Structure 1
């Protein structure tokens, strides 16, 4: 079978090509890719190429397919896996596999390390590495884009699970956020912050009683409050507060006042900004846990922490960088039960837009750029659908469909796109 894919040959050398896939082996699966969400990690891989720890050294002769946040349908199943998978099943993939015999050892990953699997392709071969690690995950929910976003949502889920607390007189770490506690998400109205709000409020097993979300841009806070209203959170037993820390003289005092002076059990920092990290440290309650979620690009990034409180108030810090397989399974489960991660998505495009978008990703504002790999579409912001719709009926219809969900991407819009967008 022929596939079309965006392949990496060297630093910033991405090419959209058509080539023949080999016949699958008994321990492999042939799959159709429907959607892929472009990640900043793909930008790093594309710009670093063989300097990247997951990219093989021989890509100039054996290029790899990029993209690792993808979903689609199974087409053909090798004999070894027919007891578990069948054609027509929808899937997602946990890309961070750890397989000692992979192309680059234990760091092998779809989207970085393989010639025949990556999200930015029309068809792929899922190798035994993925299957033997249980990293091919069935998805039974609506649409395809939620499964593509299960990987970024799993990062949020992993962060919540990674926080820990202790009891007086014990050094045992009790994992998870505090049930009924007070939580703050700082710089929390970007795409990943919106995913965190959605997950925290929607959880059934463990919730804070207070969730304070901050930013310094009122329009972004207003947009977050429109998507996730305080009334919605109240119905689920959570007091949700949006606070503009750019409008107050003393952000730490303002945050503590909201917590009735007690501080916060769980604080998540969603931007690699020194003052924000220091705010987070300053508002921790006794035994409070600060999770530094944002990944800095500056290897010397640092901030001041109050070590008096570390010693006497048992405050502590953790950092998370992605979710594991269990987190992916949970992400797919909560989405199949109704959690919609569409707040992550700000742009839609086709496979033809991948190379340029990936290489320019740091300069493109907004959140996730969602690619439909069988389509030929420019990268367009969802907020621009209505304007383009004045001259292009295709975008006019998409604008009407996303208006039904407050400007967010949705399954109806996806179905319309898949039925009406031009093929690649």
Structure 2
């Protein structure tokens, strides 16, 4: 079976190549990848090459396939796994393989470390350890893009679960956000911030009473408010506020005033910017937990914190990087109950767009860039479909579908694109 894939050879050295996959072993599975959501982590991996902790040292001679937020369907199942999987099954993959009983420090992951599996390929071979570790996840919902986005959704789910609070007079840490508490998402209307808002509003087991989302880009705040409305939040028992801190004379005082001056129980930082981290520290309430979600590319990144409050107000910090398999399963389950992750997606493209998009990801505005691996299509903003559609019937139909869905991608749009990809003209 031939596959076409984007492979990493070194720093900023990505190549779109076609090559032959070996015949699968009895303990492996051959799969077709339908779509992959490009992630800033792939940009970091491509920028750092073998200096990245997950990239093999010999990547220049044995390249790896990039991409780790992908979904598709199984094509051929090795005999070891035929009792659990069958051809035609739709799937998502948890790339953060959890070697509970394996060697210490193992960081191998699809999209970073493997020669025959990664999200930016038409066909891949799923290795035995992915199944052994329970990281091949069945997806029974409609379409494919929700399964692809279950990985980024799992990251915010894991972040919520990782927060903790203390019990006065004891050393017990109670995991999770405060149910009925006050929560702030700082720099919170980027792709991952939107995923966090979406999850918080759809969660049934616990939720804050106040959710404050900040940013310094009013257009992005306005878009978030149309996707995740005050009215829907109210119906879920949550007071939702979008705040542009760039127009506040004193953002810390303003945010604390919104909280009722007591500060926030749970504060999440979605940008690796020192002033944002310091702002988060200053708005924490008693026993407040700061979750530094955004992963910096600078290994020397630092910010100041108030240690007086750490000592006397019991404020504390956690950092999370990715979600685990249970978080992905929860993400798939909450999507089955009505959560649509389409609000994260602002651009659509084909395999031919992966290299330039990945290497320039920090400079491309908007949210998630969703790639369809069996399609030839330049990276295109959904907002531009209508204009391009004046001279292209496929874009025109996509624009009509997205307009009916608040300007968002959808299963209907996905099916239409896949059925008419050859008519795009590329």
Q: TM-score normalized by structure 1?
A: 0.96
4+ aligned runs moved over 3 Å, structure 1: 98-105
Residues of 1 paired with 2:303 and 2:11: CA distance?
Answer: 32
Tell me if 1:88 matches 2:81: no
Q: How does 1:107-256 map to 2 (within 5 A)?
A: 107-256=107-256
2:67 matched residue in structure 1: 67
Q: How does 1:5-404 map to 2 (within 5 A)?
A: 5-99=5-99, 106-404=106-404
Are 2:44 and 2:297, in contact at CA under 8 Å, matched by a contact in 1?
Answer: no
State the 1:393 CA deviation: 1.4
State the 1:104 CA deviation: 12
State the 1:99 CA deviation: 4.8
- Cα separation, partners in 2 of 1:210 and 1:172, compared to 1, 3 Å: same
Q: SS of the residue aligned with 2:328?
A: helix
Residues of 1 paired with 2:342 and 2:227: CA distance?
Answer: 10
Are 1:386 and 1:399, in contact at CA under 8 Å, matched by a contact in 2?
Answer: yes
1:415 matched residue in structure 2: 415
Residues of 2 paired with 1:372 and 1:254: CA distance?
Answer: 43
Q: SS of the residue aligned with 2:30?
A: strand
Are 2:7 and 2:17, in contact at CA under 8 Å, matched by a contact in 1?
Answer: yes
Q: SS of the residue aligned with 1:246?
A: helix
Q: SS of the residue aligned with 1:421?
A: helix
Residues of 2 paired with 1:113 and 1:104: CA distance?
Answer: 16
Task: Tell me the matched-pair count.
Answer: 424
Residues of 1 paired with 2:314 and 2:102: CA distance?
Answer: 42
1:201-234 CA deviation, whole Å, 9 max, x = no partner? 1000110111111112222211111111100000
- Cα separation, partners in 2 of 1:396 and 1:373, compared to 1, 3 Å: same
Residues of 1 paired with 2:281 and 2:156: CA distance?
Answer: 20
RMSD: 1.9
Q: Which moved more, 1:355-364 or 1:144-153?
A: 355-364
1:127-176 CA deviation, whole Å, 9 max, x = no partner? 01211111100111121011111111111001100100011101111000
- Cα separation, partners in 2 of 1:228 and 1:172, compared to 1, 3 Å: same
Q: SS of the residue aligned with 2:346?
A: strand
Q: SS of the residue aligned with 2:246?
A: coil
Q: SS of the residue aligned with 1:222?
A: helix
Q: SS of the residue aligned with 1:211?
A: strand
Q: SS of the residue aligned with 1:241?
A: strand
Q: SS of the residue aligned with 1:41?
A: helix
State the 1:274 CA deviation: 2.0
Unaligned stretches of 5+ in structure 2?
none
- Cα separation, partners in 2 of 1:395 and 1:339, compared to 1, 3 Å: same
- Cα separation, partners in 2 of 1:103 and 1:392, compared to 1, 3 Å: farther
- Cα separation, partners in 2 of 1:98 and 1:180, compared to 1, 3 Å: closer
Q: SS of the residue aligned with 2:348?
A: strand
Unaligned stretches of 5+ in structure 1?
none
Residues of 1 paired with 2:87 and 2:103: CA distance?
Answer: 27
Q: Which moved more, 1:40-49 or 1:389-398?
A: 40-49
- Cα separation, partners in 2 of 1:410 and 1:186, compared to 1, 3 Å: same
State the 1:43 CA deviation: 1.8
Q: TM-score normalized by structure 2?
A: 0.96
- Cα separation, partners in 2 of 1:108 and 1:94, compared to 1, 3 Å: same
Q: SS of the residue aligned with 1:76?
A: strand
Residues of 1 paired with 2:101 and 2:276: CA distance?
Answer: 42
